[in-house]
């Protein structure tokens, strides 16, 4: 099989040669894709076409196929400089595109951050570059503290991978972590934060607002989560931000539906990430220091089957139902990593709270499940990992989650998880990789009514008494999140969405932003 380098650089021209030949003259189906410089290759089926963009070069390999015996190599560096045409134009099967442009046959270097919209037709090996763009710098705005809210933890999950994937500059604004706070993170997370955090605005950056509401100023993309169904008057700050942004990134299809119901016009699904190389049983086992810290918190060693819950003590998290369900079991221990948020009233010693509930639920029974509260202090990231590795299962009888990062981490740590099937949680905890509890519809506030104590008890008892199934479920859980929601996978989705965003903006749907000038891209091409 012979192969030829076919490199067709056509700028944003409606009469691009390959399009003309393929679509207008030869009636071919064109495939389209976005190719990112420096990010591997796009391949046609059967390897008959390969567009490679490694080492800052774009190269298109077109293999000959029996019905397309001739493929011409075509280069155009600037639109409109077609100076010569050799051969014939036709669709006779032997020869489709024979045309030569002024230009250079050497691969052409394109700057980091550039990406191209490419069209190709396999039958005659035509390749056409429809548009060339540079991804602008990207500014991730997150105005929360570094005390590991869900927002902050989410950022930790994908930050390094997003930096590696973008090919353009990435900065994080709005965060100011102390050295102490950074010391609580994994080294790679702290390093990425240190490198990318700035308090200066990046001019012309594409802004991604993240958090409970948008920061003031222009917002291109809003990364938002919701925990309950949309209704007018609910979660006003979140929906105000959604409507102000050009595009909303929602973590699940369900969340996207809520934003659409609220009137957002451009909503895409971008899941959250957990680094499964950091969150692995193997990595935990090598970390003696964190293991010792967790063993001290868990107290006296016991043979009891232990299920973990990580959740703030607030109604939404369903800890009331969880405890009632737990206390239906005779032999089980709940490791509870929880605190009462400052805005919630009530006893802060959650061991006391659990004990008084237990006294009622377990009254008169010789044996009854126990709760081990891990205390008020936060855990470092590596202590969290050690905690997951020290328990048998994870449970959350929640009434609504934005995404569910503790569930995600538990799944990465090969724990079988039990969680309410509410607010799109199925995306993360798919039914073949988790045990889903019934949500029983929604209440007057739009939250899931949640499972019954009996539902919780049945699921826990099932895992406790079927260790082989529980083990298999844990393996499936890790496989599921490693495949779908790794930092690399999520960063690739983010990059693709940003490229699509820039393409859409350039094609004039937003007249306020002029399309990138060809000349600047052409300069890059030289
Ligand atoms: C293109 O062809 C060259 C030479 O045959 C080969 O070395 C290269 O790996 C090919 N690239 C792709 C993306 O297949
Ligand atoms: C989870 O809830 C969704 C939405 O209500 C439903 O479509 C789905 O069937 C449920 N899945 C399971 C496993 O119960």
Q: What is the tens place of the pLDDT at every residue in 221-265?
A: 999 999 999 999 999 999 999 999 999 999 999 999 999 999 999
pLDDT for the residue 212: 82
Grade residue 88 by pLDDT with cuts at 50, 70 and 90. very low
Determine the residue of 421, 422, 430, 434 to mutate for testing ligand 2's pocket, defined as the one with the most ligand atoms within 8 A of the Cβ atom: 421
C-alpha–C-alpha distance, residues 421 and 134, integer Å: 41
User: Measuring from atom 6 of ligand 2, which residue has the nearest CA?
Assistant: 421
Pocket of ligand 1 contains residue 4 by CB under 6 Å: no
- pLDDT of residue 80 exceeding 50: no
pLDDT for the residue 93: 34
Q: What is the pLDDT of residues 179-203, one digit of tens each?
A: 999 999 999 999 999 999 999 988 8
Pocket of ligand 2 contains residue 421 by CB under 6 Å: yes
Ligand nearest to the CA of 41: 1
Q: What is the pLDDT of residues 460-503, one digit of tens each?
A: 999 999 999 999 999 999 999 999 999 999 999 999 899 889 88
pLDDT for the residue 75: 31
Nearest residue to 227 (alpha-carbon basis) of 495, 424, 494, 486: 424
Pocket of ligand 1 contains residue 53 by CB under 6 Å: no
pLDDT for the residue 104: 38
Residue 344 sits at the vertex; the CA angle it makes with 342 and 349, to the nearest 5 degrees, is 80
Determine the residue of 2, 52, 55, 105 to mutate for testing ligand 1's pocket, defined as the one with the most ligand atoms within 8 A of the Cβ atom: 52
pLDDT for the residue 98: 32
- pLDDT of residue 332 exceeding 50: yes
Judged by average pLDDT, the poorest of 1-15, 208-222, 471-485 is 1-15
Determine the residue of 228, 253, 257, 426 to mutate for testing ligand 2's pocket, defined as the one with the most ligand atoms within 8 A of the Cβ atom: 426
Neighbours of 98 (CB within 10 A): 16
503 CB-near residues (< 8 Å, 6+ apart): 34, 117, 131, 133
Pocket of ligand 2 contains residue 436 by CB under 6 Å: yes
Using an 8 Å Cβ cutoff, are 34 and 101 in contact?
A: no
Ligand 2 atom with the smallest distance to the CA of 438 is 14
Strand, helix or coil for residue 127: strand
Q: Look at the block and give the residue holding tokens 């008169």.
A: 364
Ligand 1 atom with the smallest distance to the CA of 43 is 13
How far, in Å, from the CA of 50 to the mean position of ligand 1?
8
Pocket of ligand 2 contains residue 441 by CB under 6 Å: no
Grade residue 210 by pLDDT with cuts at 50, 70 and 90. very high
- Tell me, rounded to whole angstroms, the distance of Cα 298 from its chain centroid: 32
pLDDT for the residue 22: 59
Domains contained in the chain, CATH given:
2-123 (no CATH), 134-269 (3.40.50), 281-484 (3.40.50.2000)
More confident residue, 269 or 66: 269
Q: What is the mean pLDDT of residues 310-314?
A: 95
C-alpha–C-alpha distance, residues 375 and 349, integer Å: 8
How far, in Å, from the CA of 61 to the mean position of ligand 1?
6
Ligand nearest to the CA of 58: 1
- pLDDT of residue 130 exceeding 80: no
How large a percentage of the chain has pLDDT more than 90? 60
C-alpha–C-alpha distance, residues 456 and 317, integer Å: 13
Range 254-280 burial, b when 16+ CB lie within 10 A, else e: bbbebbbebebebbbbbbbbbbbebbb
Neighbours of 202 (CB within 10 A): 16
Nearest residue to 249 (alpha-carbon basis) of 236, 268, 234, 233: 268
- pLDDT of residue 49 exceeding 60: no
Ligand nearest to the CA of 55: 1
Strand, helix or coil for residue 267: strand
pLDDT for the residue 260: 97
Pocket of ligand 2 contains residue 437 by CB under 6 Å: no
- What rounded mean pLDDT belongs to the chain? 80
More confident residue, 215 or 311: 311
Most confident of 20-29, 124-133, 343-352, 404-413: 404-413
- pLDDT of residue 2 exceeding 90: no
Render 213-264 in DSSP notation, one character per residue. Answer: SPPSS--SEEE---SS---TTSSHHHHHHHHHSSEEEESSHHHHHHHHHTT-
Which CA distances in Å does 400 have to 150, 227, 335, 415, 445? 14, 5, 21, 21, 11
Pocket of ligand 1 contains residue 43 by CB under 6 Å: no
pLDDT for the residue 23: 63
Give the DSSP H or E segment for 518: helix 518-525
Q: What is the mean pLDDT of residues 164-185?
A: 91
Q: What is the mean pLDDT of residues 395-412?
A: 98
pLDDT for the residue 3: 23
Pocket of ligand 2 contains residue 426 by CB under 6 Å: yes
Ligand nearest to the CA of 50: 1
For the chain, give the number of residues.
526
More confident residue, 118 or 14: 118
Q: What is the pLDDT of residues 423-467, one digit of tens each?
A: 999 999 999 999 999 999 999 999 999 999 999 999 999 999 999
Grade residue 35 by pLDDT with cuts at 50, 70 and 90. low
99 CB-near residues (< 8 Å, 6+ apart): 17, 72, 74, 82, 85, 86, 87, 89
How far, in Å, from the CA of 250 to the mean position of ligand 2?
19
How far, in Å, from the CA of 438 to the mean position of ligand 2?
8
How far, in Å, from the CA of 462 to the mean position of ligand 2?
20
Q: Look at the block and give the residue holding tokens 């046609």.
A: 44
How far, in Å, from the CA of 118 to the mean position of ligand 1?
18
Pocket of ligand 1 contains residue 107 by CB under 6 Å: no
pLDDT for the residue 81: 28
Nearest residue to 272 (alpha-carbon basis) of 152, 433, 436, 360: 152
Report residue 320 as tokens: 């009331």
How far, in Å, from the CA of 247 to the mean position of ligand 2?
27
- pLDDT of residue 343 exceeding 60: yes
Grade residue 516 by pLDDT with cuts at 50, 70 and 90. very low
pTM attached to this predicted model: 0.81
pLDDT for the residue 41: 55
Ligand 2 atom with the smallest distance to the CA of 431 is 13
């Amino acid at each position: 099989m012979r192969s030829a380098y076919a490199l067709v650089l056509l700028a944003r021209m409606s009469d691009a040669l390959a399009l003309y030949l393929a679509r207008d003259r030869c009636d071919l189906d064109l495939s389209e894709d976005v190719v990112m410089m420096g990010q591997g290759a796009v391949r046609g089926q059967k390897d008959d076409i390969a567009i490679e963009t490694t080492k800052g070069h774009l190269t298109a390999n077109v293999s000959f196929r029996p019905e397309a015996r001739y493929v011409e190599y075509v280069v155009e560096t600037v639109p409109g400089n077609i100076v010569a045409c050799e051969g014939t134009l036709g669709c006779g099967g032997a020869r489709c595109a024979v045309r030569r442009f002024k230009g250079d046959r050497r691969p052409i270097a394109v700057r980091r951050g550039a990406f191209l919209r490419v069209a190709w037709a396999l039958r005659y090996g035509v390749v056409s570059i429809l548009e060339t763009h540079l991804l602008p710098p990207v500014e991730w705005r997150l105005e929360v503290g570094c005390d590991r809210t869900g927002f902050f933890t989410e950022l930790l999950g994908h930050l390094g991978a997003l930096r590696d994937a973008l090919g353009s500059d990435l900065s994080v604004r709005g965060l100011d972590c102390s050295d102490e706070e950074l010391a609580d993170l994994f080294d790679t997370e702290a390093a990425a934060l240190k490198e990318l955090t700035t308090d200066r605005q990046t001019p012309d950056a594409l802004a991604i607002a993240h958090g409970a509401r948008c920061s003031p100023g222009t917002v291109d993309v809003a990364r938002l989560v919701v925990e309950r169904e949309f209704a007018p008057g609910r979660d006003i700050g979140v929906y105000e931000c959604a409507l102000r942004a050009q595009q909303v990134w929602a973590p699940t299809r369900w969340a996207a539906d809520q934003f659409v119901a609220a009137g957002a016009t451009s909503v895409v699904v971008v899941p959250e990430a957990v680094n499964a190389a950091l969150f692995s049983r193997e990595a935990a086992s090598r970390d003696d220091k964190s293991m010792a810290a967790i063993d001290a918190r868990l107290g006296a060693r016991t043979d009891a089957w232990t299920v973990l819950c990580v959740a703030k003590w607030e109604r939404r998290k369903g800890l009331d139902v969880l405890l009632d369900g737990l206390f239906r079991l005779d032999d089980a221990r709940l490791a509870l990593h929880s605190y009462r948020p400052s805005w919630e009233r009530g006893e802060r010693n959650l061991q006391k709270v659990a004990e008084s509930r237990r006294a009622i639920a377990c009254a008169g029974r010789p044996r009854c499940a126990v709760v081990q509260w891990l205390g008020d202090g936060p855990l470092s990231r590596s202590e969290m990992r050690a905690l997951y590795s020290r328990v048998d299962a994870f449970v959350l009888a929640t009434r609504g989650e934005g995404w569910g990062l503790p569930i995600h981490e538990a799944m990465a740590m090969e724990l079988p998880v039990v969680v309410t099937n509410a607010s799109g949680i199925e995306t993360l905890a798919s039914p073949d990789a988790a045990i889903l509890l019934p949500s029983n519809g929604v209440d007057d506030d739009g939250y899931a009514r949640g499972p019954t104590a009996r539902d919780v008890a049945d699921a826990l008892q099932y895992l406790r008494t079927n260790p082989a199934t529980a083990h298999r479920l844990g393996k499936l859980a890790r496989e599921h999140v490693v495949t779908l929601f790794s930092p690399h996978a999520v960063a690739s989705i983010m990059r693709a969405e940003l490229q699509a965003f820039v393409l859409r903006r350039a094609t004039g749907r937003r007249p306020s932003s002029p399309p990138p000038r060809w000349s600047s891209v052409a300069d890059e091409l030289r």
